């Protein structure tokens, strides 16, 4: 409570008066809208988690069913819900009432743009879950373009979940000083201010866990422990056993939340189905928010009901939205699944290979390790590169399908790269060739990625700066050889 009192003491006298009942009731309806929207986002969140698991099955990542929710189990609009499956009053119903409420123009805080932003994002989240579901259930989900569309849709949804969280945070900044503008007896005000302080410190702790800010979590739990003790003292001084018992129940929920924070700091225990999402994700979404938000009978829901039932003339508390995370398979780079360009490496490997005899008699030793021997083979060039300088650069990259291809590169009988992926970065090679001799680049497929065959691109640069390209397809049964011919420019 020290933080709130200190902040208020620094404000100009008369800046805020007691909040009137109409303004308070209107703001509480905006808070109700935000909290019910957060509940709708949780419902959608569970569907999006399953989308992530479903799509990962197509790229060989283990999949676990985290929950039983699917689009078939939900109304057409999660946030409207005209049959009232999930709400007494849906977010869309509350929004429509707020839109027509004449008190909206007199509230004294610039909260309406935040409310509208959350309302618009809800529409996006509801529509996107249908679009992704249609792609996953389509007949061509194993095509890269469709898989990329699913991952791109999940990333868009993450951005919108983050936008809601930012709107919630800005709303709390607007509300912070106004929590003190209440008319309560001294004992009730001490309880309420202790709850406000606790709520804001718990919010900070949860957000630090989301950011993996361990030092911030440690600082927060020390404050939370002290504030829970102060709340206990304040509640025990309250007259009326019924209200005191209910507030002690809230105190117990807060104590359990604090225990979970300490468990998190000790290393935590994450169930198998959440292991790939990480400890922070599991503790934030499952352990902590169940003790804060309505769907888990968390303390915010319990307090807001308490204030309403017992007619405490106070502002209610805002819940915290879940955060969404997309898990990508290791064997295919994230950039590939999002159809983004992969930047080339800035490293250039310089090679001065030995001269080789003419191609018809060329034998390349294909021994690439002590453990694996392959019979030497006679090779014949399948492509020709014409260069106008004895020293030139070329790039090796995965062409078109980024699907886990791995290759080895041999220059004039010397293995320059072995069993490498060209998906995460382009390999740059500066090659000095022998004038009047045969020079070759052999490309061997070490595997066939998710979508055979291997596809390799070669870019090479002439002395004049001209760029030329070769696109090569190889499989496990063939090798491709580039013959380099020097023609003096």
Is residue 120 situated within a structural domain? Answer: yes
In the chain, the percentage of residues whose pLDDT exceeds 70 is: 77
Is residue 335 situated within a structural domain? Answer: no
Per-residue pLDDT, averaged over 345-363, amounts to 67
Q: Are residues 372 and 258 in the same domain?
A: no
What is the residue whose two structure tokens read 């090659």? 431
pTM value? 0.72
Q: How many domains, in total, are found in the chain?
A: 2
Q: Are residues 401 and 289 in the same domain?
A: no
Q: Are residues 166 and 302 in the same domain?
A: yes
Boundary of a domain, candidates 291, 309, 327: 309
Is residue 320 situated within a structural domain? Answer: no
Q: Are residues 69 and 210 in the same domain?
A: yes
Render pLDDT for 382-412 as a digit per residue (tens, 0 to 9): 778 888 888 878 777 776 555 566 788 888 8
Per-residue model confidence (pLDDT) at position 108: 86
d(CA 359, CA 370): 27
CA–CA distances in Å: residue 435 to residues 311, 485, 486: 93, 9, 7
Q: Are residues 362 and 281 in the same domain?
A: no
E strand or H helix at 421: strand 414-421
Question: 382, 481 in Cβ contact below 8 A?
Answer: yes
Per-residue pLDDT, averaged over 105-121, amounts to 94
Q: Which range scores top for mean pLDDT: 212-221, 371-380, 440-449? A: 212-221
Q: Are residues 282 and 401 in the same domain?
A: no
DSSP codes, 432-480: EPPTTSBEEEEEEES---SSSSEEEEEEEE-TT--EEEEEEEE-TT-EE
d(CA 145, CA 138): 12
What is the residue whose two structure tokens read 């699944």? 337
Is residue 265 situated within a structural domain? Answer: yes
12 pLDDT more than 60: no
Render pLDDT for 241-270 as a digit per residue (tens, 0 to 9): 789 999 999 999 999 999 999 999 999 889
61 pLDDT more than 50: no
d(CA 318, CA 303): 11
Q: Are residues 188 and 82 in the same domain?
A: yes
Q: Are residues 364 and 291 in the same domain?
A: no
SS3 of residue 328 by DSSP: coil
Beta bridge partners of 77: none
Is residue 321 situated within a structural domain? Answer: no
Is residue 469 situated within a structural domain? Answer: yes
E-state strands within 43-129: none
Per-residue model confidence (pLDDT) at position 486: 81
> Mean pLDDT in the chain?
81
Residues 6+ apart with CB under 8 A from 211: none
Render pLDDT for 19-47 as a digit per residue (tens, 0 to 9): 889 999 999 999 999 999 999 999 999 88
Per-residue pLDDT, averaged over 110-133, amounts to 95
Per-residue model confidence (pLDDT) at position 369: 46
Boundary of a domain, candidates 268, 291, 309: 309
Q: Which range scores top for mean pLDDT: 15-19, 70-74, 161-165, 472-476? A: 161-165
Boundary of a domain, candidates 258, 291, 309: 309
Is residue 387 situated within a structural domain? Answer: yes
Q: Are residues 292 and 434 in the same domain?
A: no
Q: Are residues 35 and 82 in the same domain?
A: yes
Q: Are residues 138 and 196 in the same domain?
A: yes
What is the residue whose two structure tokens read 């290393």? 267
Note down the domain range covering 456.
Answer: 342-486
Q: Are residues 174 and 47 in the same domain?
A: yes
Is residue 317 situated within a structural domain? Answer: no
């Amino acid at each position: 409570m020290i933080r709130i009192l200190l902040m208020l003491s620094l404000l100009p006298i008369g800046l805020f008066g007691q909040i009137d009942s109409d303004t308070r009731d209107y703001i509480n309806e905006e808070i109700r809208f935000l909290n019910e929207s957060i509940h709708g986002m949780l419902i959608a969140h569970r569907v999006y988690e399953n989308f992530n698991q479903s799509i990962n099955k197509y790229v060989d990542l283990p999949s676990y069913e985290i929950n039983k929710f699917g689009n078939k189990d939900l109304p057409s609009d999660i946030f409207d819900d005209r049959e009232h499956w999930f709400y007494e009053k849906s977010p869309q119903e509350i929004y429509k009432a707020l839109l027509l409420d004449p008190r909206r123009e007199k509230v004294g805080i610039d909260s309406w743009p935040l409310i509208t932003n959350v309302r618009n994002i809800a529409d996006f989240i509801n529509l996107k879950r249908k679009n992704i579901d249609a792609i996953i259930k389509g007949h061509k989900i194993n095509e890269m373009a469709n898989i990329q569309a699913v991952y791109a849709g999940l990333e868009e949804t993450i951005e919108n979940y983050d936008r809601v969280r930012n709107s919630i945070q800005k709303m709390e900044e607007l509300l912070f000083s106004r929590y003190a503008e209440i008319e309560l007896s001294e004992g009730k005000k001490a309880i309420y201010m202790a709850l406000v302080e606790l709520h804001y410190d718990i919010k900070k702790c949860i957000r630090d866990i989301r950011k993996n800010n361990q030092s911030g979590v440690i600082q927060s739990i020390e404050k939370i422990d002290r504030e829970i003790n102060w709340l206990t003292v304040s509640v025990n001084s309250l007259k009326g056993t019924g209200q005191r018992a209910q507030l002690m129940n809230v105190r117990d929920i807060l104590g359990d939340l604090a225990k979970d924070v300490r468990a998190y700091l000790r290393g935590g225990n994450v169930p198998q189905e959440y292991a790939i999402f990480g400890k922070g994700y599991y503790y934030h979404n499952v352990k902590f928010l169940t003790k804060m938000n309505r769907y888990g009978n968390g303390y915010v829901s319990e307090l807001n009901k308490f204030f309403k039932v017992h007619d405490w003339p106070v502002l209610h508390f805002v819940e915290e939205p879940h955060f969404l995370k997309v898990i990508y398979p290791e064997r295919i780079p994230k950039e590939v699944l999002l159809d983004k360009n992969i930047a080339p490496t800035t490293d250039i490997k310089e090679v001065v290979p030995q001269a080789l005899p003419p191609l018809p008699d060329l034998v390349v030793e294909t021994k690439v390790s002590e453990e694996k021997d392959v019979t030497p083979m006679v090779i014949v060039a399948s492509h020709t590169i014409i260069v106008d300088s004895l020293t030139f650069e070329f790039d090796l990259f995965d062409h078109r399908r980024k699907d886990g291809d791995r290759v080895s590169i041999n220059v004039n009988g010397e293995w320059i790269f072995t069993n490498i992926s060209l998906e995460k970065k382009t390999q740059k090679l500066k090659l000095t060739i022998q004038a009047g001799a045969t020079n070759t680049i052999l490309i061997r497929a070490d595997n066939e990625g998710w979508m055979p065959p291997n596809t390799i691109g070669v870019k090479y640069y002439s002395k004049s700066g001209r760029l030329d390209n070769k696109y090569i397809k190889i499989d496990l049964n063939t090798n491709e050889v580039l013959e380099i011919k020097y023609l003096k420019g």
